[in-house]
Amino acid sequence: MQNIESEYKKLLESYRDCCRTKDLILKAFDSAYEGIVITDPDGFITMLNRTYADFLGVDVDEAIGKHCTEVIENTRMHIVAKTKTPELAQVHRIKGGNMIAHRIPIIQDGTVIAVVGKVMFQNVRELHTLSARVIQLQKELDYYQGELLKNLGAKYRFEDIIGISRNILEVKEIAKRVALSDTTILISGESGTGKEMFAHAIHNYSHRKFGPFVRVNCAAIPDTLMESILFGYEEGAFTGALKGGRKGKFEIAHKGTIFLDEIGELSPVMQAKLLRVLQEREIERIGAMHPMKVDVRIIAASNRNLESMVKNGEFRQDLFYRLHVVSLHIPPLRERVEDIPVLARHLLQMLSQETGMYAAGMEQEVLDVFIRYHWPGNVRELKNVLERALHVKREDMIRLSHLPVRLFEESTGERPCFLLANAIEETERETIRQVLKMTNGDRARAIRLLGISKSSFYQKVKKYKIEIRPMD
Protein backbone atom coordinates (compact mmCIF):
# COMPACT_ATOMS: atom_id res chain seq x y z
CA MET A 1 0.00 0.00 0.00
CA GLN A 2 2.83 2.39 0.89
CA ASN A 3 4.50 1.68 -2.45
CA ILE A 4 1.28 2.54 -4.31
CA GLU A 5 0.93 5.82 -2.38
CA SER A 6 4.58 6.68 -3.06
CA GLU A 7 4.18 6.01 -6.80
CA TYR A 8 0.96 8.04 -6.80
CA LYS A 9 2.74 11.02 -5.19
CA LYS A 10 5.55 10.80 -7.77
CA LEU A 11 3.07 10.70 -10.64
CA LEU A 12 1.11 13.60 -9.16
CA GLU A 13 4.29 15.68 -8.73
CA SER A 14 5.36 14.81 -12.27
CA TYR A 15 1.95 15.87 -13.57
CA ARG A 16 2.16 19.17 -11.70
CA ASP A 17 5.65 19.77 -13.15
CA CYS A 18 4.28 19.15 -16.63
CA CYS A 19 1.42 21.56 -15.99
CA ARG A 20 3.80 24.23 -14.73
CA THR A 21 6.07 23.74 -17.76
CA LYS A 22 3.10 23.84 -20.15
CA ASP A 23 1.80 26.99 -18.46
CA LEU A 24 5.24 28.63 -18.73
CA ILE A 25 5.53 27.73 -22.42
CA LEU A 26 2.03 29.03 -23.17
CA LYS A 27 2.75 32.30 -21.35
CA ALA A 28 6.01 32.72 -23.27
CA PHE A 29 4.22 31.85 -26.52
CA ASP A 30 1.43 34.32 -25.85
CA SER A 31 3.68 37.21 -24.78
CA ALA A 32 6.28 36.82 -27.53
CA TYR A 33 6.99 40.00 -29.49
CA GLU A 34 6.73 38.12 -32.79
CA GLY A 35 3.34 37.03 -34.06
CA ILE A 36 3.16 33.21 -34.03
CA VAL A 37 0.58 30.82 -35.49
CA ILE A 38 0.59 27.01 -35.61
CA THR A 39 -1.59 24.91 -37.93
CA ASP A 40 -2.16 21.21 -38.36
CA PRO A 41 -1.15 19.43 -41.63
CA ASP A 42 -4.47 20.45 -43.21
CA GLY A 43 -4.04 24.14 -42.46
CA PHE A 44 -6.39 24.43 -39.47
CA ILE A 45 -5.17 26.75 -36.70
CA THR A 46 -4.25 24.97 -33.47
CA MET A 47 -2.45 27.84 -31.69
CA LEU A 48 -2.33 31.62 -32.14
CA ASN A 49 -0.57 34.03 -29.79
CA ARG A 50 -1.97 37.31 -28.54
CA THR A 51 0.50 39.46 -30.55
CA TYR A 52 -0.57 37.99 -33.89
CA ALA A 53 -4.28 37.98 -32.93
CA ASP A 54 -4.10 41.70 -32.06
CA PHE A 55 -2.32 42.43 -35.33
CA LEU A 56 -4.97 40.50 -37.31
CA GLY A 57 -7.83 41.99 -35.29
CA VAL A 58 -9.32 38.64 -34.29
CA ASP A 59 -10.19 36.83 -31.07
CA VAL A 60 -7.81 34.00 -30.19
CA ASP A 61 -10.52 31.55 -29.09
CA GLU A 62 -12.60 32.21 -32.21
CA ALA A 63 -9.63 31.82 -34.56
CA ILE A 64 -8.52 28.45 -33.18
CA GLY A 65 -10.10 25.62 -35.18
CA LYS A 66 -10.64 27.70 -38.29
CA HIS A 67 -8.73 27.18 -41.52
CA CYS A 68 -5.78 29.55 -41.83
CA THR A 69 -7.17 31.04 -45.07
CA GLU A 70 -10.26 32.25 -43.13
CA VAL A 71 -8.17 34.15 -40.60
CA ILE A 72 -4.92 35.19 -42.32
CA GLU A 73 -4.95 37.11 -45.59
CA ASN A 74 -2.73 35.69 -48.39
CA THR A 75 -1.46 32.93 -46.10
CA ARG A 76 0.61 30.04 -47.41
CA MET A 77 0.71 27.89 -44.27
CA HIS A 78 -1.41 25.12 -45.84
CA ILE A 79 0.80 25.17 -48.96
CA VAL A 80 3.98 24.74 -46.90
CA ALA A 81 2.31 21.74 -45.19
CA LYS A 82 1.99 20.09 -48.61
CA THR A 83 5.41 21.09 -50.07
CA LYS A 84 7.31 20.38 -46.82
CA THR A 85 9.60 23.27 -47.89
CA PRO A 86 10.36 26.07 -45.40
CA GLU A 87 9.75 29.64 -46.56
CA LEU A 88 12.09 31.99 -44.72
CA ALA A 89 12.04 35.82 -44.60
CA GLN A 90 9.23 36.07 -47.15
CA VAL A 91 7.33 39.30 -47.80
CA HIS A 92 3.67 38.76 -46.86
CA ARG A 93 1.11 41.32 -48.03
CA ILE A 94 -1.53 41.74 -45.36
CA LYS A 95 -3.95 44.48 -44.30
CA GLY A 96 -2.59 46.82 -46.97
CA GLY A 97 1.01 46.55 -45.82
CA ASN A 98 4.02 44.26 -46.12
CA MET A 99 5.41 42.12 -43.33
CA ILE A 100 8.31 39.66 -43.13
CA ALA A 101 7.35 36.09 -42.20
CA HIS A 102 8.81 32.61 -41.71
CA ARG A 103 6.76 29.45 -42.47
CA ILE A 104 8.42 26.28 -41.16
CA PRO A 105 7.03 22.72 -41.46
CA ILE A 106 7.49 20.43 -38.43
CA ILE A 107 8.35 16.97 -39.77
CA GLN A 108 8.32 13.73 -37.81
CA ASP A 109 9.19 10.39 -39.43
CA GLY A 110 8.94 12.03 -42.86
CA THR A 111 5.43 13.35 -42.25
CA VAL A 112 4.37 16.95 -41.61
CA ILE A 113 2.67 17.11 -38.23
CA ALA A 114 2.36 20.92 -38.01
CA VAL A 115 3.43 24.21 -39.55
CA VAL A 116 4.77 27.15 -37.55
CA GLY A 117 4.34 30.67 -38.91
CA LYS A 118 6.24 33.57 -37.41
CA VAL A 119 5.89 37.26 -38.22
CA MET A 120 9.37 38.78 -37.78
CA PHE A 121 8.39 42.35 -38.69
CA GLN A 122 4.82 43.54 -38.78
CA ASN A 123 5.83 46.22 -41.24
CA VAL A 124 8.74 46.36 -43.69
CA ARG A 125 9.55 49.80 -42.27
CA GLU A 126 10.58 48.02 -39.06
CA LEU A 127 13.04 45.96 -41.10
CA HIS A 128 14.43 49.07 -42.78
CA THR A 129 14.76 50.78 -39.38
CA LEU A 130 16.63 47.79 -37.94
CA SER A 131 18.76 47.53 -41.07
CA ALA A 132 19.69 51.22 -40.80
CA ARG A 133 20.60 50.70 -37.15
CA VAL A 134 22.80 47.70 -38.02
CA ILE A 135 24.54 49.75 -40.73
CA GLN A 136 25.12 52.58 -38.24
CA LEU A 137 26.54 50.15 -35.68
CA GLN A 138 28.83 48.68 -38.37
CA LYS A 139 30.08 52.17 -39.20
CA GLU A 140 30.77 52.84 -35.53
CA LEU A 141 32.59 49.50 -35.24
CA ASP A 142 34.66 50.29 -38.33
CA TYR A 143 35.52 53.71 -36.88
CA TYR A 144 36.67 52.32 -33.52
CA GLN A 145 38.61 49.55 -35.27
CA GLY A 146 40.27 52.25 -37.35
CA GLU A 147 41.12 54.27 -34.24
CA LEU A 148 42.52 51.16 -32.60
CA LEU A 149 44.68 50.40 -35.62
CA LYS A 150 45.97 53.99 -35.59
CA ASN A 151 47.36 53.34 -32.13
CA LEU A 152 48.19 49.65 -32.39
CA GLY A 153 48.41 49.24 -36.14
CA ALA A 154 51.26 49.47 -38.64
CA LYS A 155 51.49 52.74 -40.60
CA TYR A 156 53.59 51.75 -43.59
CA ARG A 157 53.19 49.37 -46.51
CA PHE A 158 55.67 48.08 -49.07
CA GLU A 159 54.41 50.78 -51.45
CA ASP A 160 55.76 53.39 -49.00
CA ILE A 161 59.31 52.01 -49.28
CA ILE A 162 60.60 54.01 -52.24
CA GLY A 163 63.40 52.76 -54.47
CA ILE A 164 64.21 51.44 -57.94
CA SER A 165 67.63 49.96 -57.24
CA ARG A 166 68.20 46.23 -57.48
CA ASN A 167 69.38 46.18 -53.85
CA ILE A 168 66.16 47.54 -52.38
CA LEU A 169 63.86 45.67 -54.77
CA GLU A 170 65.45 42.32 -53.83
CA VAL A 171 65.02 43.01 -50.11
CA LYS A 172 61.37 44.01 -50.63
CA GLU A 173 60.70 40.82 -52.61
CA ILE A 174 62.21 38.61 -49.89
CA ALA A 175 60.31 40.52 -47.20
CA LYS A 176 57.00 39.99 -49.03
CA ARG A 177 57.59 36.24 -49.26
CA VAL A 178 58.54 35.96 -45.59
CA ALA A 179 55.60 38.12 -44.50
CA LEU A 180 53.15 35.40 -45.55
CA SER A 181 54.40 33.06 -42.81
CA ASP A 182 54.84 33.52 -39.05
CA THR A 183 58.62 33.11 -39.21
CA THR A 184 60.71 35.20 -36.81
CA ILE A 185 62.62 37.89 -38.71
CA LEU A 186 65.82 39.75 -37.86
CA ILE A 187 66.28 43.06 -39.69
CA SER A 188 69.77 44.56 -39.78
CA GLY A 189 71.05 47.80 -41.21
CA GLU A 190 72.57 51.14 -40.33
CA SER A 191 70.63 53.81 -38.47
CA GLY A 192 68.10 55.58 -40.68
CA THR A 193 67.88 52.93 -43.41
CA GLY A 194 64.20 52.18 -42.77
CA LYS A 195 64.24 49.02 -40.64
CA GLU A 196 61.05 50.02 -38.84
CA MET A 197 59.29 50.76 -42.14
CA PHE A 198 60.05 47.20 -43.27
CA ALA A 199 58.65 45.81 -40.00
CA HIS A 200 55.43 47.81 -40.50
CA ALA A 201 55.17 46.68 -44.13
CA ILE A 202 55.72 43.01 -43.26
CA HIS A 203 52.93 43.15 -40.67
CA ASN A 204 50.54 44.86 -43.11
CA TYR A 205 51.31 42.26 -45.79
CA SER A 206 50.74 39.30 -43.45
CA HIS A 207 47.59 37.50 -42.33
CA ARG A 208 48.05 39.31 -38.99
CA LYS A 209 47.40 42.73 -40.53
CA PHE A 210 44.11 43.15 -38.63
CA GLY A 211 45.86 42.35 -35.35
CA PRO A 212 47.92 44.81 -33.30
CA PHE A 213 51.40 45.98 -34.27
CA VAL A 214 53.36 46.79 -31.12
CA ARG A 215 56.72 48.56 -31.27
CA VAL A 216 59.26 48.37 -28.44
CA ASN A 217 62.48 50.41 -28.51
CA CYS A 218 64.75 48.27 -26.34
CA ALA A 219 67.36 51.06 -26.14
CA ALA A 220 64.90 53.56 -24.66
CA ILE A 221 63.63 51.45 -21.72
CA PRO A 222 65.65 51.15 -18.48
CA ASP A 223 66.63 47.59 -17.49
CA THR A 224 64.63 47.92 -14.25
CA LEU A 225 61.39 48.46 -16.21
CA MET A 226 61.98 46.21 -19.20
CA GLU A 227 60.48 43.01 -17.74
CA SER A 228 57.26 44.66 -16.55
CA ILE A 229 56.84 46.51 -19.85
CA LEU A 230 57.39 43.41 -21.99
CA PHE A 231 55.56 40.83 -19.85
CA GLY A 232 53.29 42.85 -17.53
CA TYR A 233 52.61 42.23 -13.84
CA GLU A 234 49.91 41.02 -11.46
CA GLU A 235 48.16 43.13 -8.85
CA GLY A 236 50.33 43.42 -5.74
CA ALA A 237 53.44 42.13 -7.53
CA PHE A 238 55.42 45.06 -6.12
CA THR A 239 54.93 48.38 -4.36
CA GLY A 240 53.08 50.74 -6.66
CA ALA A 241 51.64 48.00 -8.90
CA LEU A 242 48.31 49.05 -10.42
CA LYS A 243 45.10 47.48 -9.16
CA GLY A 244 44.22 44.59 -11.43
CA GLY A 245 47.77 44.39 -12.74
CA ARG A 246 48.90 45.47 -16.17
CA LYS A 247 49.30 43.83 -19.55
CA GLY A 248 52.75 43.70 -21.07
CA LYS A 249 53.63 44.43 -24.70
CA PHE A 250 53.54 40.73 -25.62
CA GLU A 251 49.98 40.38 -24.30
CA ILE A 252 48.91 43.50 -26.16
CA ALA A 253 50.44 42.09 -29.35
CA HIS A 254 48.47 38.80 -29.08
CA LYS A 255 47.29 37.70 -32.55
CA GLY A 256 49.51 40.39 -34.05
CA THR A 257 53.16 41.37 -34.36
CA ILE A 258 55.70 42.72 -31.88
CA PHE A 259 58.65 44.70 -33.23
CA LEU A 260 61.69 44.70 -30.94
CA ASP A 261 63.86 47.54 -32.18
CA GLU A 262 67.51 47.87 -31.08
CA ILE A 263 67.38 44.36 -29.64
CA GLY A 264 71.17 44.39 -29.19
CA GLU A 265 70.66 46.69 -26.19
CA LEU A 266 68.84 44.05 -24.11
CA SER A 267 70.57 43.03 -20.87
CA PRO A 268 71.73 39.40 -20.48
CA VAL A 269 68.85 38.73 -18.05
CA MET A 270 66.24 39.97 -20.52
CA GLN A 271 67.92 38.07 -23.34
CA ALA A 272 67.34 34.86 -21.37
CA LYS A 273 63.68 35.71 -20.74
CA LEU A 274 63.12 36.57 -24.41
CA LEU A 275 64.70 33.27 -25.43
CA ARG A 276 62.09 31.43 -23.31
CA VAL A 277 59.28 33.31 -25.08
CA LEU A 278 60.70 32.28 -28.46
CA GLN A 279 61.06 28.65 -27.38
CA GLU A 280 57.82 28.14 -25.46
CA ARG A 281 55.59 30.82 -27.01
CA GLU A 282 54.44 31.78 -23.53
CA ILE A 283 55.07 34.63 -21.12
CA GLU A 284 54.84 35.03 -17.37
CA ARG A 285 53.72 38.23 -15.72
CA ILE A 286 55.71 39.45 -12.74
CA GLY A 287 54.04 37.95 -9.67
CA ALA A 288 51.99 35.43 -11.66
CA MET A 289 51.60 31.82 -10.56
CA HIS A 290 51.35 30.37 -14.06
CA PRO A 291 52.57 31.30 -17.55
CA MET A 292 50.17 32.22 -20.36
CA LYS A 293 50.33 31.34 -24.04
CA VAL A 294 50.72 34.15 -26.58
CA ASP A 295 50.26 34.06 -30.33
CA VAL A 296 52.73 36.71 -31.49
CA ARG A 297 54.95 37.12 -34.53
CA ILE A 298 58.35 38.54 -33.54
CA ILE A 299 60.33 40.92 -35.72
CA ALA A 300 63.61 42.14 -34.25
CA ALA A 301 65.99 44.81 -35.54
CA SER A 302 69.45 46.11 -34.73
CA ASN A 303 71.95 48.54 -36.21
CA ARG A 304 74.71 46.68 -34.37
CA ASN A 305 76.45 43.56 -35.65
CA LEU A 306 74.85 40.89 -33.47
CA GLU A 307 77.17 38.20 -34.81
CA SER A 308 80.19 40.15 -33.56
CA MET A 309 78.41 40.71 -30.26
CA VAL A 310 77.94 36.94 -29.94
CA LYS A 311 81.68 36.41 -30.49
CA ASN A 312 82.46 39.05 -27.87
CA GLY A 313 80.07 37.48 -25.36
CA GLU A 314 77.71 40.47 -25.42
CA PHE A 315 74.76 38.63 -26.95
CA ARG A 316 73.50 35.10 -26.33
CA GLN A 317 74.34 32.71 -29.15
CA ASP A 318 71.16 30.64 -28.68
CA LEU A 319 68.99 33.77 -28.80
CA PHE A 320 70.81 35.00 -31.91
CA TYR A 321 70.06 31.77 -33.78
CA ARG A 322 66.43 31.84 -32.61
CA LEU A 323 66.08 35.36 -34.04
CA HIS A 324 68.18 34.67 -37.10
CA VAL A 325 65.62 32.37 -38.79
CA VAL A 326 65.25 34.83 -41.66
CA SER A 327 67.61 37.80 -41.92
CA LEU A 328 66.89 40.95 -43.90
CA HIS A 329 69.72 43.43 -44.43
CA ILE A 330 68.58 46.91 -45.45
CA PRO A 331 71.30 48.48 -47.66
CA PRO A 332 72.57 51.96 -46.75
CA LEU A 333 71.71 54.85 -49.04
CA ARG A 334 75.26 55.09 -50.42
CA GLU A 335 74.86 51.54 -51.79
CA ARG A 336 71.73 52.42 -53.74
CA VAL A 337 72.67 55.76 -55.29
CA GLU A 338 70.11 55.40 -58.11
CA ASP A 339 67.36 55.60 -55.48
CA ILE A 340 68.44 59.04 -54.22
CA PRO A 341 66.71 61.25 -56.85
CA VAL A 342 63.37 59.41 -56.72
CA LEU A 343 63.54 59.16 -52.93
CA ALA A 344 64.41 62.85 -52.56
CA ARG A 345 61.46 63.90 -54.74
CA HIS A 346 59.10 61.63 -52.81
CA LEU A 347 60.29 62.95 -49.44
CA LEU A 348 60.04 66.56 -50.62
CA GLN A 349 56.44 66.04 -51.71
CA MET A 350 55.59 64.32 -48.43
CA LEU A 351 57.26 67.06 -46.34
CA SER A 352 55.49 69.78 -48.31
CA GLN A 353 52.17 68.22 -47.35
CA GLU A 354 53.19 67.74 -43.72
CA THR A 355 54.63 71.24 -43.18
CA GLY A 356 52.40 73.21 -45.52
CA MET A 357 55.52 74.74 -47.14
CA TYR A 358 55.35 74.19 -50.87
CA ALA A 359 58.35 73.43 -53.06
CA ALA A 360 58.04 72.86 -56.80
CA GLY A 361 61.19 70.74 -56.91
CA MET A 362 64.99 70.75 -56.67
CA GLU A 363 67.71 72.10 -58.90
CA GLN A 364 69.75 69.43 -60.69
CA GLU A 365 72.83 70.71 -58.83
CA VAL A 366 71.11 69.80 -55.56
CA LEU A 367 70.51 66.24 -56.75
CA ASP A 368 74.15 66.06 -57.92
CA VAL A 369 75.32 66.96 -54.41
CA PHE A 370 72.92 64.40 -52.93
CA ILE A 371 74.29 61.67 -55.21
CA ARG A 372 77.93 62.43 -54.29
CA TYR A 373 77.31 62.71 -50.55
CA HIS A 374 77.92 59.53 -48.50
CA TRP A 375 74.83 59.88 -46.19
CA PRO A 376 75.99 58.46 -42.84
CA GLY A 377 72.47 59.06 -41.50
CA ASN A 378 70.88 57.41 -44.55
CA VAL A 379 67.23 58.12 -45.45
CA ARG A 380 66.58 59.83 -42.12
CA GLU A 381 69.40 62.31 -42.78
CA LEU A 382 68.11 62.99 -46.32
CA LYS A 383 64.67 63.73 -44.91
CA ASN A 384 66.13 66.12 -42.31
CA VAL A 385 68.18 67.97 -44.95
CA LEU A 386 65.09 68.45 -47.14
CA GLU A 387 62.97 69.60 -44.18
CA ARG A 388 65.62 72.17 -43.28
CA ALA A 389 65.72 73.36 -46.89
CA LEU A 390 61.95 73.91 -46.85
CA HIS A 391 62.31 76.15 -43.81
CA VAL A 392 65.17 78.31 -45.11
CA LYS A 393 64.14 78.67 -48.80
CA ARG A 394 62.65 81.94 -50.06
CA GLU A 395 61.47 80.67 -53.47
CA ASP A 396 59.68 77.68 -54.96
CA MET A 397 62.75 75.61 -55.83
CA ILE A 398 65.27 73.97 -53.48
CA ARG A 399 68.67 75.38 -54.44
CA LEU A 400 72.27 74.77 -53.39
CA SER A 401 72.12 77.80 -51.10
CA HIS A 402 69.44 76.03 -49.05
CA LEU A 403 71.67 73.06 -48.19
CA PRO A 404 73.86 72.79 -45.07
CA VAL A 405 77.45 73.89 -45.75
CA ARG A 406 78.86 70.53 -44.58
CA LEU A 407 76.83 68.69 -47.22
CA PHE A 408 78.43 70.66 -50.06
CA GLU A 409 81.91 70.53 -48.53
CA GLU A 410 81.87 66.75 -47.92
CA SER A 411 80.42 65.90 -51.33
CA THR A 412 82.71 68.20 -53.37
CA GLY A 413 85.70 68.94 -51.12
CA GLU A 414 85.19 72.68 -51.81
CA ARG A 415 84.15 75.61 -49.65
CA PRO A 416 80.83 76.98 -51.02
CA CYS A 417 81.79 80.66 -51.25
CA PHE A 418 78.51 81.39 -53.04
CA LEU A 419 76.48 80.66 -49.92
CA LEU A 420 76.82 84.24 -48.66
CA ALA A 421 73.11 84.51 -47.88
CA ASN A 422 73.32 81.51 -45.58
CA ALA A 423 76.31 82.97 -43.74
CA ILE A 424 74.56 86.33 -43.25
CA GLU A 425 71.41 84.69 -41.96
CA GLU A 426 73.38 82.46 -39.59
CA THR A 427 75.28 85.47 -38.24
CA GLU A 428 72.04 87.42 -37.69
CA ARG A 429 70.39 84.47 -35.98
CA GLU A 430 73.33 83.87 -33.64
CA THR A 431 73.77 87.58 -32.83
CA ILE A 432 70.11 87.99 -31.85
CA ARG A 433 70.28 84.88 -29.67
CA GLN A 434 73.44 86.09 -27.89
CA VAL A 435 72.00 89.57 -27.25
CA LEU A 436 68.77 88.10 -25.85
CA LYS A 437 70.81 85.84 -23.62
CA MET A 438 72.91 88.78 -22.45
CA THR A 439 69.78 90.86 -21.68
CA ASN A 440 68.09 87.91 -19.99
CA GLY A 441 65.20 88.09 -22.47
CA ASP A 442 64.63 91.87 -22.16
CA ARG A 443 63.26 92.64 -25.64
CA ALA A 444 63.39 96.44 -25.40
CA ARG A 445 67.02 96.42 -24.26
CA ALA A 446 67.94 93.87 -26.94
CA ILE A 447 66.40 96.09 -29.66
CA ARG A 448 68.45 99.08 -28.44
CA LEU A 449 71.70 97.06 -28.39
CA LEU A 450 71.07 95.61 -31.87
CA GLY A 451 70.32 99.08 -33.27
CA ILE A 452 67.26 97.95 -35.27
CA SER A 453 63.58 98.88 -35.22
CA LYS A 454 61.02 97.02 -33.12
CA SER A 455 59.20 95.68 -36.20
CA SER A 456 62.48 94.51 -37.77
CA PHE A 457 63.44 92.76 -34.53
CA TYR A 458 60.19 90.77 -34.35
CA GLN A 459 60.33 89.93 -38.06
CA LYS A 460 63.76 88.40 -37.61
CA VAL A 461 62.73 86.57 -34.43
CA LYS A 462 59.83 85.02 -36.34
CA LYS A 463 61.95 84.29 -39.43
CA TYR A 464 64.68 82.49 -37.48
CA LYS A 465 62.21 80.86 -35.06
CA ILE A 466 64.05 82.23 -32.02
CA GLU A 467 62.52 81.42 -28.64
CA ILE A 468 62.65 84.32 -26.21
CA ARG A 469 63.15 83.19 -22.63
CA PRO A 470 61.00 85.21 -20.19
CA MET A 471 62.89 87.52 -17.83
CA ASP A 472 63.58 86.21 -14.31
Tens-digit pLDDT string for the chain (472 aa):
556 666 766 776 776 767 777 667 666 666 666 788 999 999 999 888 888 888 888 898 889 999 999 998 888 999 999 988 998 888 888 777 777 888 999 998 889 999 999 887 555 455 445 545 555 666 666 655 555 555 556 788 999 999 999 999 999 999 999 999 999 999 999 999 999 999 999 999 999 998 999 999 999 888 888 888 899 888 777 766 677 788 889 999 999 999 999 999 999 999 999 999 999 899 888 888 888 999 999 999 999 999 999 999 999 999 999 999 899 999 999 999 999 999 999 999 888 888 888 888 888 888 988 998 899 999 999 999 998 888 877 777 888 888 887 787 776 655 554 555 566 776 787 788 888 888 888 888 888 888 888 888 888 888 777 877 665 5
Q: Determine the pLDDT at residue 43.
A: 92
- Residue 367 contacts residue 400 (beta carbons within 8 Å): no
Diameter over CA atoms, the chain: 126
Where are the alpha helices (H) located in 253-339, listed in sequence order? Answer: 268-280, 306-311, 317-323
Beta bridge pairs of residue 47? 38
The three-state secondary structure class of 470 is: coil
Q: Determine the pLDDT at residue 297.
A: 95
Say how many CA atoms lie within 13 Å of 142 toward its Cβ: 6
**Residue 326 region by backbone torsions, left for phi larger than 0, else alpha for psi between -120 and 50, else beta:** beta
Pairing of strands 257-261, 87-94: unpaired
Q: What string of DSSP letters covers 180-232?
A: TS---EEEE--TTS-HHHHHHHHHHHSTTTTS-EEEEETTTS-HHHHHHHHHE
Q: Determine the pLDDT at residue 121.
A: 58
Say how many CA atoms lie within 13 Å of 71 toward its Cβ: 28
DSSP structural state of residue 162 = -
Cα first-last separation, the chain: 108
- Residue 175 contacts residue 182 (beta carbons within 8 Å): no
DSSP structural state of residue 357 = -
Cα separation, 295 vs 275, whole angstroms: 15
DSSP structural state of residue 277 = H
The three-state secondary structure class of 291 is: coil
Residues 219/220/225/226 CA torsion (nearest 10 deg): -40
Q: Determine the pLDDT at residue 131.
A: 47
Q: Rounded to the nearest 10 degrees, what angle do helices 443-450 and 454-463 cross at?
A: 100
Q: Determine the pLDDT at residue 89.
A: 81
Q: Determine the pLDDT at residue 453.
A: 87
Cα separation, 456 vs 259, whole angstroms: 50
Q: Determine the pLDDT at residue 127.
A: 43
